[in-house]
Amino acid sequence: MSVFEDCDYPCRKGSLSVTGAMPFPPGVGGRAPGDTLNDTENYEVITSDRAIDESNVGNRMLRNMGWQEGLGLGKDCSGIKEPVQAKAVDDRSGLGSQQHRKPDSSLEAQAGDSYRTIIQKKAIARFREMA
């Protein structure tokens, strides 16, 4: 008779609590050394050539406040009628942005590094980033 058979707790055979296995610590494992995550996700660019459909949150909010297509914004409908054109600027950064320096290659996790060594390297890298 098992210890888990007496309790009402739902026990799944092979779960982490039964086998005692732990997942990888944060920042360790799960990827091969040298793999980089692509931080730039693919996204849809909306241009002024195509109108935003009625399922858009902003469109629904404006309609709930009484706006109608073709009329201007504001109490007297005397405001702008066309949306503000957004322009992407790649050579500048926004408020609070920091210029990222190239990380020191000696502080990157290597294939044979222990968990402790990886944590130490990350702490040193964070400290140098603040300075």
CA distance 121 to 96: 26
State which residues form the domain around 22.
Answer: 8-34+102-131
Does residue 90 sit within a domain? no
Does residue 1 sit within a domain? no
CA distance 40 to 43: 9
Does residue 89 sit within a domain? no
Take residue 90 and report the two structure tokens written for it: 């790649």
Are the beta carbons of 67 and 73 closer than 8 angstroms? Answer: yes
pLDDT category, 103, cuts 50, 70, 90? confident
- Report pTM: 0.32
Summarised one tens digit per residue, pLDDT across range 57-71 is 888 888 888 888 888
- List, as one string, the DSSP characters of the chain: --GGGSS-S---TT-HHHH---PPPTTSSSS-TT---------PPP-TTSPPPTTSHHHHHHHHTT--TTSPSSTTS-S-SSPPPP---SS---TT--PPPPPPGGGSPPTT--HHHHHHHHHHHHHHHH-
CA distance 73 to 121: 54
Does residue 92 sit within a domain? no
Does residue 122 sit within a domain? yes
Does residue 56 sit within a domain? yes
Summarised one tens digit per residue, pLDDT across range 30-66 is 555 555 555 455 666 666 667 778 888 888 888 888 8
Does residue 61 sit within a domain? yes
Q: Which amino acid is at 127?
A: F
Query: How many separate domains does the chain show?
Result: 2
Does residue 93 sit within a domain? no
Q: Let me know whether 54 and 73 are in one domain.
A: yes
